[in-house]
Amino acid sequence: MTQRRRKLRKSRKFLCCSNMTCRGSRSLIQICAYLAFITTTVADDREECDKTKCPGPLAYYEVLGCIPVFKKEGDCCATKYNCDHLKQRSTSKCYVNGKEYEIGEVLKEEDANPCDIGCTCHPGYDKIATFNCAIVDCFQGPAKPGCYRKRSPLNCCPGEEVCPENPEDRAICNVNGKEYRDGEHFSVESEPDLTCICQPGYEGKNVEPFCVKPKHPYCSPDFRHASNIFNNCPPVYYSTQSPQTGCSVFSRCQNNNDTVIHKEDDLKSADKNLDGLETQTDFGGGGWSF
């Protein structure tokens, strides 16, 4: 009988956090309730984490494959990004999609976007290898009144001009409750990387030939601006842009006239020497720190 009571007491002790009707365990119940509150609060904070509000050019770091480093586990925003893998690269090779290309090697179709025509890996002006592609001129002038140009995400330039007799004959695509007409670009909220153009036959499926995912990120400096990576040149954005999601305008390399600004509390600093532009970086130390 005594042994049975001991087992019962032991089982009741472990059930108290889930069974709040246990008698004589008021303090334990309060502790369990507090722990439950803390757990729920932490979970809610993680669910509410909005990466687009974190400082720094997050899209830039993502395409470079840099690893976020957090001050403590569970934090929403990183304090810095580890890009050490970039230091292992060779200045005599081109890089795209994690692949290496030798000098003189032609870009493979599997790695080429529509406008990547005649691309070859070759030494840059500073002897750092980069892809050099043919200059594509897509200028065709505006379409005539009542006309439009056919477009496809699979092609670099617009196609033929179409002048329908009746405006109603132009195909319409319904995307998220909004209408787009044949030849017009549209975006997919759940898949922002897709390049989509309304075309006849679209039935709500965001697949080829209506939508295409780039074969390599358009925002990545890997492809044509490898020198900026080797020289630790941070990206520059227009003041109206979102560095968290947008592509940089160009890169800003350090020079002897730069002044180092330390703002450790904000994890970022701004260089506003260029009118209408701002670089969200800290030139102090090695690499980029936000």
Task: Indicate the domain borders of the chain.
Answer: 51-88+219-257, 148-212
Q: Which helix (H) or strand (E) holds 40?
A: helix 26-47
CA-to-CA distance for 267 and 52, rounded, in angstroms?
15
Task: Say whether pTM exceeds 0.75.
Answer: no
Give the tens place of pLDDT for each residue, 194-248. Answer: 999 999 999 999 999 999 999 998 888 888 889 999 998 989 999 888 888 888 8
The 3-state DSSP composition of the chain as helix, strand, coil percent (nearest 5) reads 20, 20, 60
C-alpha pair distances (Å), 21 with each of 17, 38, 40:
10, 21, 21
CA-to-CA distance for 252 and 20, rounded, in angstroms?
61
Give the tens place of pLDDT for each residue, 103-162. Answer: 999 999 999 999 999 999 999 889 999 999 999 888 888 899 999 999 999 999 999 999
